[in-house]
Amino acid sequence: MAKTSNKESSPTIFIIFGGTGDLSKRKIIPALYNLFLENRLPEKFAIIGTGRSKFTDSKYRISLLEAVDEFSRRGKAKREDWSKFASNISYQIANIKDASEYKEFGSRIDTLKEEWKQAASIIYYCAVSPEFFCTIAENISASKLENNPETTRIIIEKPFGRDLNSAKELNSKLLTIFNEKQIYRIDHYLGKEVVQNIMAFRFANAIMEPLWNRNHIEHVQISVTEQIGIEDRGDYFENAGILRDMIQNHLLQLLCTIAMEPPINFDADVVRDRKVEVLHAMRKIAPGKVDTMAARGQYGPGWVEGKEVPGYREEKEVDPNSNTETYAALKFYVDNWRWQGVPFYLRTGKRLFKSASLITIQFREVPHNMFHREEGNIPKQNRLVISIQPDMGIRFQLESKTPGLEMSLNTVDMVFDYSGKTRVDSPEAYETLLLDIISGDQTLFMRADQVEAAWELIMPVLDAWENNKNSNFPNYPADSWGPENAEALIAKDGYHWFSLPELNKKD
């Protein structure tokens, strides 16, 4: 995680495949613009957007300005700043499937280098649908575009493969053209501010380590609930489902960050080694045990904030009899000394009651209650709640004496809250990730073995769900907390799903 100015870095050329797409507009360009405003981009840089539509440079820039105005965390761009930034942007029409159309990128790279009288780093960004990742890499190679192992990088968005075999195939194809140090596989959850803070919180505080194990932790919950449905991504989602879309990547990566052993330093490979060890230590769900370790759901129609919303099967480009899951809950164990016997519960879903990404660590009960039980003095278990979004913060729930004449217990929160200025100043995940790519820091990116190990873990569930249709779908209404079987999954162990506690309230 390089966090110094990149002004002195060598000139950089970004070639964005999918330069007119949603991701470019919502995330990539606003992130690059914000880095520019913070003087984090190299002094000399160029952004070449590419797509199949016809655009002049100036029309392209206007479309990006509209996007920045709409999606940047800083709101509307100041016109003067934007003009300076936009003078580095150009557009190149190209059919990404056709290698002969890549030559033009080569000429543009040469022209820029001549103009700058310097070598440049080249960053190819595959912001396109996954079926084109390989095609782009192959065409870069076939048309002999610059591919210097030290200074050329390629960014691959998720989903990385559809299953273990396709992920392996994609890895091996990419690795014939680029080496691992050039490949940046994005999992944008790793760039989120609070997620990065988990490492600081765990490894920069001496009091955490003695508590961070099976002796003190009873169970862990990782919950990413979303209020939105699948929006206009019916085609993509029908082929993915929430297991591929969220669990294989974002939720398993959060789990790794919580469960990893302390790295000896902050080098990208050292940190990633520790994470991949967690995936290897996780107990594979046996095919016959999928029903006891996992629960799935699909949303039906309902009402959200006074508006009627369709069920999943009524969404555009979705099969009216679809078996695709829009909700998943899983239980995992990490079979090592630190975590033996501690369940990790993961849940995520669309069209749920509230959007919130939370990690809750539930500590064990006190070994003996010395207070008067009959007066209701039963200490609640301590909880550490890491709130990633929309609320950003870390809170410890502790028991305390209620002020007054009696000895009566109450739960209180010790809170580190990112509200106010800290929050406004927090970079978006894509800003952090792009800055790291420019600096050549791979800590927050998925290595080939990490991606494959994550696929390996969810394959038994994917297979079981694909081969056995769920006859109860849809099984939860919009605006609910999900299907009953997910409640049952955790209830049979004596727990319940936590949502974000309101300050100073017991739940």
Residues classed as catalytic: 250
For ligand BG6, the closer of residues 140 and 500 by Cβ is 500
User: Judged by CB under 6 A, how many residues of this single chain contact ligand BG6?
Assistant: 4
Q: Residue 42 CB, nearest distance to ligand BG6 (Å)?
A: 27
Closest CB 79 distance from ligand BG6, rounded Å: 29
We find the least distance from the C-beta atom of residue 466 to ligand BG6, in angstroms, to be 19
Burial letters for 471-482: b for 16+ Cβ neighbours within 10 Å, e otherwise?
A: eebbbbbbbbbb
User: What size, in residues, is the chain?
Assistant: 507
Give the nearest distance from C-beta 248 to ligand BG6 in angstroms.
10
Instruction: Please say whether the beta carbons of 346 and 489 come within 8 A.
Output: no
Residues in contact with ligand BG6, shown as a per-residue x/- string from 198 to 227 under the rule CB under 6 A: ----------------------------x-
**Helix or strand or coil: residue 476?**
strand
> Nearest distance from residue 247's CB to ligand BG6, in Å?
11
Q: Which of 487, 506, 187 is nearest to 352 (CA)?
A: 487
Q: How far apart are CA 431 and CA 436, in angstroms?
A: 9
Report which residue type is found at 37.
L
Positions in 352-381 near ligand BG6 (CB under 6 A):
357
In the bound state with ligand BG6, the residue whose beta carbon lies nearer, of 257 and 382, is: 257
- Which of 40, 250 has the CB closer to ligand BG6? 250
Q: How many angstroms separate the most distant Cα atoms in the chain?
A: 83
Residue for token pair 């396109």 = 128
Nearer Cβ to ligand BG6, position 40 or 158?
A: 158
Closest separation between CB of residue 260 and ligand BG6, Å? 21
In one-letter notation, the amino acid at residue 383 is R
Dist CA 397 CA 411 (whole Å):
6
Residue 428 in contact with ligand BG6, rule: CB under 6 A = no
Which helix (H) or strand (E) segment holds residue 413: the answer is: strand 409-417
413 or 428: whose CB is closer to ligand BG6?
A: 428
3-state secondary structure of 154: strand
Give which of 192, 205, 210 is closest to 257, Cα–Cα: 192
Strands of the sheet containing 183-185, edge to edge, are 89-93, 45-51, 12-17, 121-126, 152-156, 183-185
Q: What is the dihedral of CA 33, 39, 42, 47, to 10 degrees?
A: 10
Residue 245 vs 452, nearer CB to ligand BG6: 245
CB of 388 to ligand BG6, least distance (A): 8
Nearest-approach distance from CB 471 to ligand BG6, in angstroms: 25
CA distance from start to end of the chain? 37
Q: In the complex with ligand BG6, which residue's Cβ is closer, 158 or 275?
A: 158
Site for ligand BG6 in 125-164 (CB under 6 A): 158
Cα–Cα distance, 297 to 473 (Å, whole number) = 7
Q: Give the torsion sign (CA, 153, 154, 156, 162).
A: negative
Please, which residue, 145 or 359, has the CB nearer to ligand BG6? 359
Residue 88 identity: N
Q: In this structure, which long-range contacts are made by residues 265-272, counting pairs with CB atoms below 8 Å and at least 24 apart in sequence?
A: 266/1, 266/443, 267/443, 268/441, 268/442, 268/443, 268/445, 269/442, 269/447, 271/199, 271/443, 272/442, 272/443, 272/447, 272/450
Name the closest residue to ligand BG6 (Cβ).
245
The kind and range of the H/E element at 461 are helix 448-467
Q: State the number of CA atoms in the 13 A half-sphere of 503 facing the CB.
A: 7
Residues numbered 228-257 forming contacts with ligand BG6, rule: CB under 6 A:
245
Q: How far is the CB of 330 from ligand BG6 (least distance, A)?
A: 17
Q: Which is nearer to ligand BG6, 11 or 130 (CB)?
A: 130
Which residues contribute to the site for ligand BG6 (CB under 6 A)? 158, 226, 245, 357
